[in-house]
Structure 1
Amino acid sequence: MKNIRNIHLRFTLLLSLGIAVFSSCERDFSDDVKFAAFSNNGDIFTDEPVGLTDEFFDSFDPNEGANPEGFGTDDNVAFMGTSSIRIDVPAPDDPDGGFIGGIFLDRGDGRDLTGFDALTFYVKGSITATIGEVGFGTDFEENKFAVIAQNIRLSTDWRKVIIPIPDPSKLIQERGMFFFSAGTQTTNGFGYTFWIDELRFEKLGTIAQPSPTIFFGQDISTPAVNGIEFVITGISQTFNLASGINQTVSAAPAYFDFSSSDNSVAIVNESGEIVVVGSGNSSITAQLANVRASGSLDITSNGVLPTAPLPMELAENVSAIFSNEYANAVESIFEPNFGGSTTNLQLLSNDDEDALVYTNNNFTGIVFSNTLDGTSRTTLHIDVYPFDESTAVDVQIRDVGANQVLETNTTTGLPDGDDVDRRFLIEGLTPGQWTSIEIPLDGNLAAQRNNLGALILAGGPNFIFDNIYFFTE
């Protein structure tokens, strides 16, 4: 029989953390200062929750599809003792939500986990499904020391799961005891049940061979100008377990110590956020618990971005897409997130002039929120700043068909059909300076420009655009 209890819904992302306040008074002699100690109890759930909030399951937001109804305890199933946590994973069409997930929070101000090296628990499923994510350190606030392991395979027998702690010395006051998220991606949409028991932090002493990575272990090079920002991604830590299995977890940036080889070129903070501040070269690297992480970002900056040429067309002859000199004729989506796109886009402000910085572009688009009637326009203008000689940007002008669908394949960036007249290759430009490009609206577009819907940008891969507008010569 399933006993539903201790359920608490999380409708906001804010929790109030208790703050310990210390007072002192003057003394004639110096005393040793004793700071408040946090609980070092590693148990989270044995036969009942240990040191957790009374309603210890905080569900993800039901407004985002989370199902809060499938969590409870089961007095008939246990690995050890008399009770276990029972989680019923819903089908995608369940009216209460199509997936289940949430966190367990410590009842007090947090726990001192520096004496442990792993989160462990026993788990079994009603079928051989896969739990999407499990971990700890998520507290619905900073999530500063979050750790996530993906694709935990279930058996119909009890199995022990080990989630290594990347650097226990960081966890002197942690509230996020457990995190999980599960759906039916591996069961063809069929719901299932899994049970968790003996959930705790342990000191195993068999967590070995740490291998941290940033940028998925790749050494990446990128051009830049002052003001461009990057975020360190692909952050993980891999350990070898006693079983011989290598367990990889995604680790929050706060576990790492990031560094820049030249802070006059680029600076990086503890959150892995990089800002380019000067010309030259800088390499961004990292360590985790004094182990050098594989992967790096090599930045070559041209310094201050020159201002793009000042447009000279009269406003009445212009239908602007992106320019500080003209009012937009239509609002646009500059990051359409096409499937398969590797593009990074940033809006860069320079002396009150904005520019669109594209790095690692394979294909992306500027999709108009409403169609644009360009019947009276004869030319598309774009100012282009290439980072290097290899820059070659394929600009594809799209109209919206009679079915009101953008006529492009948004998984490849290519047009549907052989619409070569809609494509214009920008190449042969001088690196490090602006060039004004003008593309005539002729060929097929001459009869289709009354219903323009997007610009598709393929190739590059690194360039800057400004002053994008249609005009009449």
Structure 2
Amino acid sequence: MKNIKFIYLKNSFILGLLFVATTSCEREISDEVAFSTFPNSPEVFIDGFTAGLDYFPFEGSYFQAFTVDQETKYRGASSMRFDVPNVGDPLGAYAGAIFRTATARDLSGYDALTFWAKGTQAGLINEIGFGQDFAENKYLVTTNLQLTTNWKKYIIPIPDAYKLTAERGMFWYAEGPENDKGYSFWIDDLKFEKLGTIAQPKPSIGNGEDKVEIQFLGNSVSMANYGLTQTFNLESGLNQTVTAAPAYFSFKSSNIEVARVSDLGIITFVGPGTSKITASLGGVKATGSLTVTVPGSFPVASVPTLAQNNVISIFSDKYSNIPVNYYNGYWAPYQTTRGEQTTIDGQNVLSYTDFNFVGTQLTTPLNISEMTHFSVDILMLELPTDIDLLVTFKNENSAATTFQQNRIGQSYQLDPRAPVVHKDTDFEAGVWETIKIPIRPTSETSLDKTGVNLIIIENIKSSKVKTIYVDNMYFYKE
């Protein structure tokens, strides 16, 4: 299992799509197109950096992951070499970076980013693409790819080349260890091309599904969180799907008095009622939709009453919070949960959809030796018939058995170390529930209380928890 958290991409986790004009039809240039005077150089890395190209590693990446290799290459004098670290490497947890130009380029005349690649072993690169520039990332494109040990050409189509008249993000990648082991891979002849063989675009929202959910007045969400994808047919006959930024799409709300969508795909909920969000890309209607019901204002969780000096706060507007790396670590490929911190009608909350489990990682390991309880507020809008959550906190770098688990919901137990602390009958749909979990003795849990840095909330039994809100998460002493 790969565990990679891309801190640079909040919520993010991936916006998808592939584009390219079909060979069988043409469309007129949009009136919205701004004709660019930027250079249209297609080359990114051909035997070395192209003019103005810089390398910027992501936070937490192995700093020495990238080198120019003059021995192993597809052709020419050199290639790009990427060294993925082992799990636990003190110099970095993964390899990841962007390649950005100082001067924007006009890529509107191309339809794909292409390159040759191979690895020391077969491996799935988690995320790879273009359009990330550490600024707006307005036209971000992401996919993954399966490496082989032989050189192979890869194609990442552009969702809508007409929009790329001033792009700086030429290439980016993020990859973690395979089965906890590091490895190396190479990329050569990295450039944009006009292939003319990419056809049959099939954009979609929510992977083509018609999603239904509840939102609240004053809340805003990004369509990037709803599985924007597009599938293209390549010359090889294979279909390829990529994730693309919302800016590639044109969105429509069926009721703008309920929900309004910006050009960047940000939905703002402005009134009670129901609205259906649909989209198109490059003139092609996207499959799938998002229907949102807005019942009114968001319910506010009760304000905690404990004094600050008795609390170590992870997330709460009431207290000063300790530094956190993230409120939603992503454990590929098992985690489905999307979302993290958001503001709803002025209240900061943690909002998760498609919930199966979510992890919060603290920046510095925490000493909870003096704490007696862990408290968390949870809100579910629709209650499943079999609520069964598991709350775990542990030292992420300790042995697998050194953790504390506590159950919330059902009365049965899969693990005697996880006693039920809150019954499912205590929950009410649309109402915040405060759950207080005793810190149990080390003799029961083997938990190292001086180094807790990971808190996980997991949906053990039910697959029907669509949305869950979390607030006021803290350790305290009585």
* TM-score where L is the length of structure 1: 0.66
Match of 1:417 in 2: 415
Match of 1:31 in 2: none
Assess, with a 3 A threshold, how the Cα gap between structure 1 residues 150 and 85 changes in structure 2: closer, same or farther: farther
- Does the residue aligned with 2:51 lie in a helix, a strand or coil? strand
Assess, with a 3 A threshold, how the Cα gap between structure 1 residues 279 and 201 changes in structure 2: closer, same or farther: same
2:243 matches 1:250:
yes
- 1:153-172 matches, within 5 Å, as 153-157=147-151, 159-172=152-165
2:220 matches 1:229:
yes
Assess, with a 3 A threshold, how the Cα gap between structure 1 residues 118 and 341 changes in structure 2: closer, same or farther: closer
Assess, with a 3 A threshold, how the Cα gap between structure 1 residues 226 and 345 changes in structure 2: closer, same or farther: farther
- 1:115-126 matches, within 5 Å, as 115-121=109-115, 123=116, 125=118
**Alpha-carbon distance, 1:301 to partner:** 1.6
Task: Choose from 275, 278, 283 the match for 2:276.
Answer: 283
Q: Distance in 2 between matches of 1:223 and 1:88?
A: 46
In structure 2, give the amino acid aligned to 1:70: T
Task: Choose from 73, 84, 87 the match for 2:80.
Answer: 87
Match of 2:106 in 1: 112
Task: Choose from 191, 214, 225 the match for 2:205.
Answer: 214
* TM-score where L is the length of structure 2: 0.65
Contact 1:85 1:195 in 2 (8 A): no
- Does the residue aligned with 2:105 lie in a helix, a strand or coil? coil
Assess, with a 3 A threshold, how the Cα gap between structure 1 residues 236 and 85 changes in structure 2: closer, same or farther: farther
Deviates more, 1:214-223 or 1:366-375: 366-375
Q: Distance in 1 between matches of 2:370 and 2:180?
A: 48
**Alpha-carbon distance, 1:171 to partner:** 1.1
**Alpha-carbon distance, 1:269 to partner:** 2.6
- 1:26-175 matches, within 5 Å, as 37-45=37-45, 52-53=50-51, 56-61=53-58, 64-67=61-64, 70-73=67-70, 79=75, 83-90=76-83, 92=85, 102-106=97-101, 109-121=103-115, 123=116, 125=118, 127=120, 129-130=122-123, 132=125, 133-157=127-151, 159-175=152-168
Match of 1:196 in 2: 188
The alignment yields a C-alpha RMSD, in angstroms, of 5.4
Contact 1:134 1:148 in 2 (8 A): yes
Match of 2:289 in 1: 296
Q: Distance in 2 between matches of 1:385 and 1:397?
A: 15
Match of 1:259 in 2: 252
Provide structure 2 residue ranges, at least 5 long, that are not aligned to the other structure: 1-7, 10-33
**Alpha-carbon distance, 1:207 to partner:** 0.9
May I ask how many residue pairs the two structures share in their alignment?
A: 417
Residue deviations 1:174-229, cap 9 Å, x none?
A: 2333444566638953445x3513x4332222110101233333322212222333
Match of 2:30 in 1: none
**Alpha-carbon distance, 1:365 to partner:** 7.9
Assess, with a 3 A threshold, how the Cα gap between structure 1 residues 207 and 186 changes in structure 2: closer, same or farther: farther
Contact 1:216 1:235 in 2 (8 A): yes
**Alpha-carbon distance, 1:169 to partner:** 0.5
In structure 2, give the amino acid aligned to 1:250: T
Q: Distance in 1 between matches of 2:81 and 2:131?
A: 23
- Does the residue aligned with 2:203 lie in a helix, a strand or coil? strand
- Does the residue aligned with 2:197 lie in a helix, a strand or coil? coil
In structure 1, give the amino acid aligned to 2:416: D
**Alpha-carbon distance, 1:304 to partner:** 1.5
- 1:293-442 matches, within 5 Å, as 293-306=286-299, 335=327, 337=329, 342-343=336-337, 344=339, 346=341, 359-363=353-357, 371=368, 387-388=381-382, 390=384, 393-394=387-388, 405-408=402-405, 417-418=415-416, 422-427=420-425, 431-432=429-430, 434=431
Q: Distance in 1 between matches of 2:263 and 2:146?
A: 30
**Alpha-carbon distance, 1:290 to partner:** 1.3
Match of 1:29 in 2: none
Q: Distance in 2 between matches of 1:128 and 1:96?
A: 22
Contact 1:215 1:295 in 2 (8 A): yes
Percent of paired sites with the same residue: 32
Match of 1:6 in 2: none
Match of 1:8 in 2: none
Provide structure 1 residue ranges, at least 5 long, that are not aligned to the other structure: 1-11, 14-33
2:176 matches 1:176:
no
Residue deviations 1:350-407, cap 9 Å, x none?
A: 57x76665654445589995548687x9xx9988765246476557688999x99442
Contact 1:261 1:284 in 2 (8 A): yes
Q: Distance in 1 between matches of 2:107 and 2:253?
A: 30
In structure 1, give the amino acid aligned to 2:404: E
Assess, with a 3 A threshold, how the Cα gap between structure 1 residues 65 and 289 changes in structure 2: closer, same or farther: same
Assess, with a 3 A threshold, how the Cα gap between structure 1 residues 417 and 166 changes in structure 2: closer, same or farther: same
- Does the residue aligned with 2:405 lie in a helix, a strand or coil? coil
Match of 1:16 in 2: none
In structure 2, give the amino acid aligned to 1:196: D
In structure 2, give the amino acid aligned to 1:225: F
